[in-house]
Amino acid sequence: MIRADAALMGADPAQPAERSAKAKQLPPASRTDSTGEHLAYVALGANLADPLAQVRAAGRALADVPECRLLRLSSLYRSAPVGNRSIRGQADFINAVAALHTRLTPSQLLDALFAIERLFGRRREYHHAPRTLDLDLLLYDDQTVDSQRLRVPHPRMHLRAFVIAPLLEIAPQALIPGRGSAAAWLPAVSMQGIARLAD
């Protein structure tokens, strides 16, 4: 396990994953473009039942959501559970972040994410239960949403290395409305254990 800043900055700049990430970096989220598409970022996480396979398959499932186009899926990362004692006792997570172009509203996109979670057999037995698959809507253009069922930007995304590291890999300029640049949060999460996995 290595620290988030080391995982992100990478010891070997010639790594293919880094070269391709640099070549295809996405712009900061902005308002709808002229095609009516919105830029959304989704966090993927799993820590049960072959989590590597789950996250890879979830990436494919995101690509199949109607009215959505998968633009980028980050590398996969292994992270230590973060949170209270019941979470810290769980198995490591596999995480990634996806960038999507979508014509869905934030609420419709959340429904689509719930549908994929159900497809992957996630049961909401209790809050913070180990999960076959967890999908969170991180960012949607530069919009903020604060409803009972949905908060965007995701309220804890800036505190999680397993979100910030993969997000910066695919969108180094990403902005978190109300919190500034995602990159500025890297020092705050750099002590959290996370490792980028080889492609």
Residues recognised as catalytic: 122, 131, 134, 136
Residue 142: strand, helix, or coil: coil
- DSSP state, 155? T
CB of 18 to ligand AMP, least distance (A): 28
What residues contact 23, with CB distance under 8 A and at least 6 apart?
Answer: none
Of 31 and 127, the one with the shorter C-beta distance to ligand AMP is 127
Residue 123's alpha-carbon distances to 65, 114, 127, 144, in angstroms, are 21, 11, 10, 28
Of 137 and 182, the one with the shorter C-beta distance to ligand AMP is 137
Q: Could you give the CA distance from residue 87 to residue 128 in angstroms, rounded to a whole number?
A: 7
Q: Could you give the CA distance from residue 108 to residue 152 in angstroms, rounded to a whole number?
A: 13
Of 21 and 112, the one with the shorter C-beta distance to ligand AMP is 112
CB count, 10 Å around CB of 49?
A: 13
CB 131 within 8 Å of CB 120: no
**Closest Cα partner for 190 from 155, 159, 156?**
159
Q: Which residues contact ligand AMP by CB under 6 A? A: 110, 134, 136-137, 149-152, 154
CB of 97 to ligand AMP, least distance (A): 13
Looking at 47-148, which runs of residues are DSSP E strands?
68-73, 77-79, 93-102, 134-140, 145-146
Of 24 and 123, the one with the shorter C-beta distance to ligand AMP is 123
CB of 143 to ligand AMP, least distance (A): 11
CB of 140 to ligand AMP, least distance (A): 9
Of 134 and 141, the one with the shorter C-beta distance to ligand AMP is 134
CB of 31 to ligand AMP, least distance (A): 19
